[in-house]
Structure 1
Amino acid sequence: MENELRFEKAEFSTRLLVVKKEMEKRGIDVLLLSEPSNANYLTGYDAYSFYVPQMVLVALNHDEPVWVGRGMDGVSARMTTYLSQANIRPFPDAYVQSALSPYDFVAEVVKEVAGPKVKIGVEMGGYYYSARAHADLVNALPDATFFDADLLVNWIRLIKSPAEVALMRDAGKIADAMMHRAIDIVEPGVRECDIAAVVYHQMMAGTPDFGGNYTCSPIYLCVGEKALAPHAAWSDKPLPAKTIINLELFGNRHRYQVNLARTICVGTPTQSYQNLADVVVEALNAGLEAVAPGKTAEEVHAAFAKTLAKHGHEKEARLGYSLGLGYPPAVGEKTVSLRKGDQTVLEPGMCFHMMSGLWLENDGITITQPFVVTERGHEPLTQIPRKLFIK
Structure 2
Amino acid sequence: MMQKQMIFSRDEYDRRIRRVKEIMDRRGMELLLVTDPANMNYLTGYDGWSFYVHQGVILSLAFDHPLWFGRQQDANGARLTTWLPDACIFGYPDEYVQSRYTHTMRYVAQLLRDQGLAEKRLGLEMDGYWFSARMYLTLQEELNRAVLMDATNLVNWVKSVKSEPEIAYMRQAARICEKVMQTAIDAIAPGVREKDAAAMVSAAQIAGTDEFGGAPPAIFPIMPSAERTSTAHLTYDPDRQYRLGDVVLLELCGARHRYHAPLARTVFLGDPPDDLIKTADGVVTGLQETLQFIGPGTTAEEVEARWRAAIAHTGVVKPSRVGYSYGLNYVPDWGEHTVSLRPGDKTVLKPGMAIHFMPGIWLDTYGFECSEPVLITDNGCEKFIEFPQQLFVKH
Asked if Structure 1 and Structure 2 have the same fold, meaning a TM-score greater than 0.5 normalized by the shorter chain, the answer is yes
Partner of 1:90: 91
Which stretch shifts more, 83-92 or 265-274? 265-274
Work out which of the residue numbers 334, 338, 341 in structure 1 matches 2:341: 338
Q: Which amino acid aligns with 2:353?
A: M
What secondary structure, in the 3-state scheme, does the structure 2 residue paired with 1:193 have? Answer: helix
* Range that drifts further, 40-49 or 100-109: 100-109
Scaled by the length of structure 2, what TM-score is found? 0.97
Q: Give runs of aligned pairs for residues 324-335 of structure 1, distance below 5 A.
A: 324-335=327-338
User: How far apart are residue 368 of structure 1 and its match?
Assistant: 0.7
Q: 1:124 maps to which residue?
A: 126
Q: Which residue of 2 aligns with 1:41?
A: 42
Counterpart for residue 214 of structure 1: 216
Q: What's the CA shift for 1:240?
A: 1.0
Task: Tell me the amino acid that sits aligned with residue 156 of structure 1.
Answer: V
1:299 aligns with 2:296: no
Which whole-Å deviations, capped at 9, do the CAs of 1:371-390 have from their partners, x for residues lacking one? 11111211111111111111
Q: Tell me the equivalent position of 2:358.
A: 355
How far 1:104 moved relative to its partner? 0.8
Counterpart of 2:28 in structure 1: which amino acid? Answer: G
- Structure 1 unpaired stretches of 5+: none
Q: For residues 194-249 of structure 1, what are the alpha-carbon distances to aligned partners after superposition, in whole Å with 9 as ceiling and x for unaligned?
A: 11000000000011111111211211111001010111131121111221100111
Return the alpha-carbon distance in structure 1 between the equivalents of residues 347 and 164 of structure 2.
21
Say which SS state the counterpart of residue 330 (structure 1) adopts: coil
Whole-Å separation in 1 of the counterparts to 2:369 and 2:117: 52
Structure 2 residue 72 is the aligned partner of structure 1 residue 100: no
Of the candidates 369, 378, 382, which is equivalent to residue 381 of structure 2?
Answer: 378
Alignment of 1:220-369 (within 5 A): 220-235=222-237, 236-369=239-372
| Cα deviation code 1:70-100 (max 9, x no counterpart) | 0010011000000000100110111112222
- Aligned equivalent of 1:135: 137
1:187 Cα shift?
1.0
Task: Give the letter for the 1:387 counterpart.
Answer: Q
The one-letter amino acid paired with 2:60 is A
> What is the aligned partner in structure 2 of residue 53 from structure 1?
54
Structure 2 CA distance for aligned equivalents of residues 373 and 239 of structure 1:
38
3-state SS in 2 of match to 1:333: strand
1:252-291 deviations in Å (ceiling 9; x for gaps): 1101112111100111111221121111100111111111
Instruction: Find the aligned partners of 1:385 and 1:233 in 2 and give their Cα distance.
Output: 23
* Counterpart residue identity of residue 238, structure 1: Q
CA 1:114–1:310: 2 relative to 1, 3 Å: farther
Which of 180, 193, 199 in structure 2 is aligned with 1:178? 180
Deviation at 1:133, TM superposition (A): 0.9
Alignment partners' CA distance in 2, 1:48 and 1:220: 22
Q: Equivalents in 1 of 2:344, 2:97: separation in Å?
A: 44
- Which residue, out of 146, 149, 171, partners 1:147? 149
Take 2:116 and 2:21, find their aligned partners in 1: how far apart are those partners?
14
C-alpha contact 2:171 2:384 (8 A) present in aligned 1: yes
Aligned-residue CA RMSD in angstroms? 1.0
Aligned equivalents of 2:357, 2:252: Cα separation in 1: 14
Other-structure match for 2:193: 191
In structure 2, C-alpha distance between the alignment counterparts of 1:313 and 1:112, rounded to whole Å:
60
Cα distance per residue 1:351-375 (max 9 Å; x no partner): 0111111012233101111111111
One-letter code of the match for 2:51? F
Distance in 2 (CA, whole Å) between partners of 1:322 and 1:193 is 30
Distance (Å, rounded) in 2 between the aligned partners of 1:102 and 1:303? 48
Percent same amino acid among aligned pairs? 42
Asked whether the 8 Å contact 2:254–2:262 carries over to 1, the reply is: yes
User: SS where residue 337 of structure 2 aligns?
Assistant: coil
Amino acid at match of 2:303: V
**Contact (CA 8 Å) 1:321, 1:353: kept in 2 or not?**
yes
Check the 8 A contact 1:33/1:39 in 2, yes or no. yes
Q: For residue 58 of structure 1, give the secondary structure of its aligned residue in structure 2.
A: strand
Q: Secondary structure at the match of 2:335?
A: coil
Query: What SS is found at the alignment partner of 1:14?
Result: helix
One-letter identity of the residue aligned with 1:137: L
CA shift, 1:115, in A, is 2.9
Q: Write the distance in 1 (CA, Å) between the matches of 2:250 and 2:234.
A: 10
**What is the match of residue 10 of structure 1?**
11
Residues in 2 aligned to 1:9 and 1:348: alpha-carbon distance in whole angstroms: 23
Consecutive unaligned residues in structure 2, runs of 5 or more: none
Contact kept, 8 Å, 1:213 with 1:255, in 2: the verdict is yes
Q: Distance in 2 between matches of 1:113 and 1:178?
A: 47
Q: Once structures 1 and 2 are overlaid, which stretch shifts more, 148-157 or 356-365?
A: 356-365
Aligned AA for 1:27?
A: G
Give the whole-Å Cα distance in 2 for the aligned partners of 1:342 and 1:60: 31
Query: Aligned partner of 1:202: which letter?
Result: A
Q: Distance in 2 between matches of 1:160 and 1:168?
A: 10
**Quick one: distance in 2 between partners of 1:226 and 1:50?**
31
